[in-house]
Chains A and B, each alone.
Chain A
Amino acid sequence: MTHEVLIVGLNHRTASLDVREAVALADDQLDDANRQLRELDGVEEAAMVCTCNRVEVVSSARGGEVAVARITDFLRRTQRRPLADLQPHLYNFAGRDAVRHLFRVASSLDSMVVGEPQILGQLKQFYARAASVGATGAVLHRWFHKAFSVAKRVRTETGIAGRAVSVSSAAVELATTIFDHLEGKTAMLIGTGKMGELAARHLLANGVGSLIATNRTFERAVDLARALHATPVPFEQFPKYLPMADIVIGATAASEFILGEQAVQEALRERKGRPMFCIDLSVPRSFDPRINALDNVYLYDVDDLAKVADENLGERAREAEKAEVIVSEEVEAFWRWLGHLDVVPTIVALRDKIEQIRRGELQKTLGQLKELPPREREALEAMTTALVNKILHAPIARLKQHDRRSEAFYVDALRRLFDLDEPDER
């Protein structure tokens, strides 16, 4: 195989945060880095990927060993803060392993939190950056776009990204299990704890219409309310507003329960039994646990939410296994395509295809002209052969003389234009 696919880099598993920080490039260095990578000995195409969890060079190369050494050297040269030894943190993948690695990264199977959705967007951005300075070609184009479509397939065919895995998102998930939609719902935030604020932001982002904020020190409630576009109410009056709240979040540092059975019961009466979701994020707890026994009230504390998030994480691990199967299928398909991306087999395939057409059409015509004498048949045969050769001459000659970088582009274009690939490789 003349086109070798390679990935050299490090990620959150092989390098600690300070190593990753040292190697990661600043945004304004990226274009230069992509240009320089492409100029390296043996490297034909390259794209740098640099997120907070990984620094990787994705490339198509010739003469693997040399290219790996050059890229490693490049990473060592460009780091912001020289490290004693970068080598133990680096990995390199070649061939099928490299293809698989990029597909796994795109599908978020290699992420710190498996199934997190950001990585795909980041990958698209980094590919676009490399393409914009001309560092990529036909191989990386196809490879990255295949990776994007694999990620999409994984997303739709498995439940890998389906479930909430943080406490705040678990709260949102539970809220949508109780209420059909969060639009037009009202939430109340008691206390100014960080977790509470985070949960409130999450709920607002997911459609909750209005937020009431309260705190023992009213000024702090006012501050928080301003930040969250909420309505502040004095602490003494919050039970009066309780019936309006579909969701109540507690994030206080109180040592006793600030929300008891009685208050909730009264609120429920006024709500005519419409359900209430109480989220107690305070440690020690600030909502009386007995509230959960009331009809139409669902009380979750920090541990409950963490348990839900954990279970979801377990489910993701199961879904990840399904995703690996999808990745493997796609690796094979891409590998076959890559194998065909050579000049010689492409010329053979092109000749075969045209020859097949020539023969087919000739046979059809001769079938209709049964009376034709053998000499004229031969003339027809010679004429069609000449026709085919003349037409194919220029493109084949051009293909043979092209330099290696544009070669992959022409080969790929030809294979597509003349439909030379198997259906599953497209």
Chain B
Amino acid sequence: MNLLLFALSLALTLVAAVAFVAHVTSGREGAHRVALGALWAAFGLETLALALRFASVGAGVLDSFHDHLSLLAWLLVGCYLALQARIRLDVLGALVSPLAFLLNLSSYLFYSGTETLPPELRTAWLPAHVAPAFLGYAILVLASCVSLVYLLQERRLKAKRPGRLHRLPSLETLDELNYRCVAWGFALFTLGIVTGALLAKTTWGVFWVWEPVQVLSVLAWLVYAMLLQARSLGWRGRRAATLTLAGFGLLLVTLLSFSVNFGVPHGRTFGG
């Protein structure tokens, strides 16, 4: 039942992705309606799937890597839909929905029902750590998508070919959005790191272990902190967008190292 819901939501996300790309390239309004409808439906189904899974395994929903991936996709789509309700950002949908599809697809492929977290990690601190960290990740992914659109738009304007993608939001809007996303994402990410350290303390008695996930997370955190600081010195626009993407690169490596660790039973000391 759960897997069926999940597969259905996966298919709908693909429909949304294709329709969004079609809308952005052709400008057809019909495609936009289909895209948004499909994405809302996919989000609804995945919400139901996650709720059912939570009902059956409780906090164990955070135990496996495939759950983490689908959680991230779910949060990403949720954040996008919340944003889309306020300002129209079709082109962002054309980035977010394929990304959500890929995340969900890998989650689906990873699904084996066997990987679990080391039992010692199953404490009340785990949700307190995972919830802000993942919401923060999702928002930072969204910020990266916004940055990508910014760079695209900026290049077109510099090359004096503003061309066909005229539905792109203005540079000012994108820059402002990037700032807000990074600020929120950073705050939640910080909370995630602090709770992560507390989780380590309660589990192993130490705050800090030289563990790749931890080191990389802190590096990414530093990039975002720098980005926010530099903005007040006039680092906006292209530089801010590039730095956002750099931070995202580090985040991606963090997530990957996390997954590699997960692949080997008890090969890691603690969970991200």
Contacts and interface: CB of A to CB of B under 8 A. Distances in A.
A and B pair up: yes
Interface residues of A, number: 27
A174 B233 contact: no
Nearest to A315: B164
Interface string B31-49: 0000000000000000000
5 contacts: A178-B172, A273-B235, A275-B171, A296-B237, A300-B160
A12 to B, nearest CB: 29
Nearest to B233: A272
User: Of residues B169, B170, B176, B235, which shows the largest number of chain A Cβ atoms within 10 Å of its Cβ?
Assistant: B170
Interface in B225-252: 232-239
Contact of A179 (B164, B172, B237): B172
B235 A307 contact: no
A380 to B, nearest CB: 54
B27 A308 contact: no
Contacts of B158: 292, 298
| Interface of B: prevailing SS | loop
A422 to B, nearest CB: 25
B94 to A, nearest CB: 18
A274 B179 CA distance: 13
Contacts of A272: 232-234, 236
B58 interface: no
Nearest to B171: A178
A298 B172 CA distance: 13
Q: Which of A273, A292, A311 has the most CB of B within 10 A?
A: A273
B160 A296 contact: no
A114 to B, nearest CB: 18
B205 interface: no
A117 interface: no
A295 B237 contact: yes
A176 interface: yes
A269 interface: yes
A296 B235 CA distance: 10
A269 B238 CA distance: 15
A95 interface: no
Interface residues of B, number: 24
Interface string B160-176: 10111010111111001
A354 B192 CA distance: 76
A155 interface: no
Contact of A296 (B163, B173, B236): B236
Interface string A262-298: 0000001101111100000000000000001001101
B153 A177 contact: yes
A129 interface: no
Interface of A: 159, 162-163, 173-174, 176-180, 268-269, 271-275, 292, 295-296, 298, 300, 304, 307-308, 311, 315
Nearest to A156: B29
Nearest to A162: B166
Contact of A311 (B163, B176, B232): B163
Interface in B136-174: 153, 157-158, 160, 162-164, 166, 168-173
Interface of B: 27, 153, 157-158, 160, 162-164, 166, 168-173, 176, 232-239
Contacts of B166: 162-163, 177
Contacts, number: 57
A174 B171 CA distance: 11
A392 B157 CA distance: 70
B173 A174 contact: no
Q: Which of A162, A163, A174, A295 has the most CB of B within 10 A?
A: A295
Given A159-B27, A180-B172, A180-B173, A275 B237 contact: yes
Contacts of B176: 180
Contacts of A173: 162
Contacts of A176: 170
Contacts of B27: 159
Contacts of B173: 180
A296 B170 contact: no
B160 A307 contact: yes
B238 A296 contact: yes
B172 A269 contact: no
Contact of A178 (B157, B236, B239): B157
Given A272-B233, A304-B160, A179 B239 contact: no
A147 to B, nearest CB: 24
A315 B163 CA distance: 10
A272 B162 CA distance: 25
Contacts of B171: 177-179, 275
Contacts of B239: 295
Given A298-B158, A307-B160, A177 B238 contact: no
Nearest 5 A/B pairs, CB to CB: A273-B234, A272-B234, A180-B172, A273-B236, A304-B160
Contacts of B160: 300, 304, 307-308
A162 to B, nearest CB: 8
B162 A174 contact: yes
A104 to B, nearest CB: 23
